[in-house]
Amino acid sequence: MRGGAGHGDRRTAWRFATGAERGRSGAAFHNEPPQGQLPETLSPSQFTDVVVQNAYTLAARVKKVLYQQPCYCHCDRSQGHTSLLDCFASKHGSGCGVCMREAIYSYEQSHKGKNAAQIRAGIERGEWQQVDMSKYQTPVAAK
């Protein structure tokens, strides 16, 4: 059924069940800051690749921002993720260049003073694709 009440009812039911929205790309994210505790990101020490370790390290530093970001690999559809944070609360982010670039982009932009909505707008424009991953070939400094 295209359009119509059936489609809207499914979308409303999904939004109610997950607490997430869908952006222009159709990717899931949360429009508001989290209410309560967020899931932990996996420990970077679980991974041997330095770039992956760095992505998980930086993701842990901006969990509230990642909670409000969509993931353009569409893991919301394939794995039920409701935001970019879910990618780093699981091993999914370790094998996905999209997730890693978006997380690092979110970290970089938050440290430039951008808020979650501004970062999300940049992600939707595809700015995450311009992240220079060569800067993350050596371990980032501990917090």
Position 10 scores a pLDDT of: 37
Contact 60, 88 (CB under 8 A): yes
Position 42 scores a pLDDT of: 95
pTM of the model: 0.78
Angle CA 113–115–121, to nearest 5: 115
Q: Is 41 helix (H, G, I), strand (E, B) or coil?
A: coil
Position 30 scores a pLDDT of: 61
Range from 27-36, 45-54, 63-72, 73-82 carrying the lowest mean pLDDT:
73-82
pLDDT-derived band at 71, boundaries 50, 70, 90: confident
What is the DSSP secondary structure assignment for residue 129, as one 8-state letter? G
Share of the chain above pLDDT 90, in %: 55
Position 137 scores a pLDDT of: 96
pLDDT-derived band at 1, boundaries 50, 70, 90: very low
> How many whole angstroms from its chain centre is CA 102?
6
pLDDT digits (tens, 9 = 90+) for 84-101: 898 899 999 999 899 999
